[in-house]
Structure 1
Amino acid sequence: MSTRHSKRPLLIGTGALAAAAALILGGAAAANAHVSIAEGPVEAGSYSILTLGVPHGCDGAATTKVAIQIPDGINAVTPTRNSLYTVEKVMEDLDTPITDSHGNEVTERVAQVVYTATTPLPDGQRDAFELSLQIPEDAAETTLYFPTVQTCEQGETAWVQIPEEGQDGHDLDTPAPGVDVIAASAAGSHGHGDATDASADAHEDSASATAAADQTALVITSLAVGSIGLIVAVIALLRGRKKA
């Protein structure tokens, strides 16, 4: 669906350990309490599936809608269906039309993906939303941010804060979920060579396997012939003793 928008000492020790664990786990939970993207880093120009997780509601209120803003440079997005939500793509016109890889003129892009709950997501539960898209080729060594507004039965939380240069995003109250982008690897450019090498290796392995099989057959044949000779010799010896 698309729309548009222009036990004592032991117990004491155990208690201390438990308290320390609680502090550590509590800190970890707090660190992971933001709406965030699970993947990363991703390669520039790659086709990726990004998973945006919503870990809680708004101050105890159940979540009813999650609106994800798509960064500039990404024009097409395919959201994964979620049985507890309806999903729509909000489109906007491009300032300048572009031509896609198939030669088609593209005049609009996906500006937002909005998941609306058919059954509100309780505060004590989490959910995840997947977006399939292509990372812009010119986004290497940057972070792509997907500002997200979480609407709840009472109130909303706007996960839209983007850190300034040199600022740690973890210091923000409601940081926008983001994914780090790295330069594309050169592995793809050697694909044909890799295939050729793999073929050569396979041929060599096959030849080695054949040689090993031939050698095994020769050993088995030699053992068989030797066994027959030994049997014949024993029989001749027994016959000689009987005649004597």
Structure 2
Amino acid sequence: MSTRTLARLGVLTAATSAIALSLVAPASAHVTATPSSSAAGAYTVVTFSVGHGCEGSPTTGIEIQVPESVLAVTPSRNPFYDVEKKMEQLADPITDSHGNEVTERVASIAYTATTPLPDGQRDWFELSLQVPDAEGETLSFPTIQTCEKGETRWVEVPAEGQDADALESPAPAFEITAASAEGDHHGDETAESADESAEESAEQTSTSTGTGADADGSDSDEGSSALGWAGLGLGLVGAVLGGVALARTRRTA
């Protein structure tokens, strides 16, 4: 194969790679939502990642809208932002998974920057919540990114059968998967850990009172008896020796 042919192939490969990268780059720049668990009914921490500003302008605020099927959300603190929960009243009170009556829900979480996020840097925001018991559904969080100049509204939700990658400004989202077979046992694990700690404490207490000793202190009694008999034996030996010495003294006298 000639040098000219190889050069042409090299140029073609480079052009193809550049086109591929140009197609991938916009998708990777979207605001994304990544849950620690997507299982139905699970407690999860959803991480929202922001990778750029608004056409070069630094980011000054992020407001994440909470899906209607999610009632409660706990936001994580971010050292460069003030955080605010925005509540809304429910049309009709409902009962949550713990049997409590709920009259309002978290409508959105707003992060306002105390120090703007430069366009060339990324940041992330974490929300703790319970995934709705709705396997197969997509949980979308329309997000508004405010910048020093302009804003980007990541609020587009794909229609049924539409590919989210085809949208220009898709809302961060993830699909709810099947519930875990083990369920949520964080309470059981805590109790089990406490039981194990109690058992270890009991073993340490037993060891500190004497290795292998019974609760009634029988080993201690046996040791005391042995010392008593040894003392008595030494006393008898002393008495015999004393008597012999006295007898010799009388004879000499």
User: Separation in 1 of the partners of 2:47 and 2:150?
Assistant: 24
The alignment of Structure 1 onto Structure 2 pairs a total of residues equal to 184
When residues 103 and 165 of structure 1 are mapped into structure 2, their CA distance, relative to the original with a 3 A threshold, is closer
Consecutive unaligned residues of structure 1, counting only runs of 5 or more, are 1-7, 196-244
User: Separation in 2 of the partners of 1:189 and 1:32?
Assistant: 33
User: Separation in 2 of the partners of 1:100 and 1:158?
Assistant: 31
Q: 2:150 aligns with which of 151, 155, 180?
A: 155
Q: TM-score, normalised by structure 2?
A: 0.65
One-letter identity of the residue aligned with 1:34:
H
Quote the residue 1:105 is aligned against: 101
1:1-244 correspondence runs (5 A): 19-39=15-35, 42-137=38-133, 139-188=134-183
1:19 Cα deviation from its structure 2 partner: 4.8
1:28 Cα deviation from its structure 2 partner: 2.5
User: Separation in 2 of the partners of 1:72 and 1:118?
Assistant: 29
Deviations 1:130-160 (A, max 9, x none): 11100111x2111011000111111111111
Consecutive unaligned residues of structure 2, counting only runs of 5 or more, are 193-253
Q: TM-score, normalised by structure 1?
A: 0.67
1:188 Cα deviation from its structure 2 partner: 3.3
When residues 55 and 101 of structure 1 are mapped into structure 2, their CA distance, relative to the original with a 3 A threshold, is same
1:165 Cα deviation from its structure 2 partner: 0.8
When residues 189 and 94 of structure 1 are mapped into structure 2, their CA distance, relative to the original with a 3 A threshold, is closer
Rg larger for: 2
Aligned identity (percent) is: 55
One-letter identity of the residue aligned with 1:184:
A
8 Å CA contact 1:151–1:157 kept in 2: the answer is yes
User: Separation in 2 of the partners of 1:56 and 1:109?
Assistant: 30
User: Separation in 2 of the partners of 1:152 and 1:99?
Assistant: 39
Deviations 1:104-134 (A, max 9, x none): 3221110000000001111111111111100
8 Å CA contact 1:41–1:180 kept in 2: the answer is no
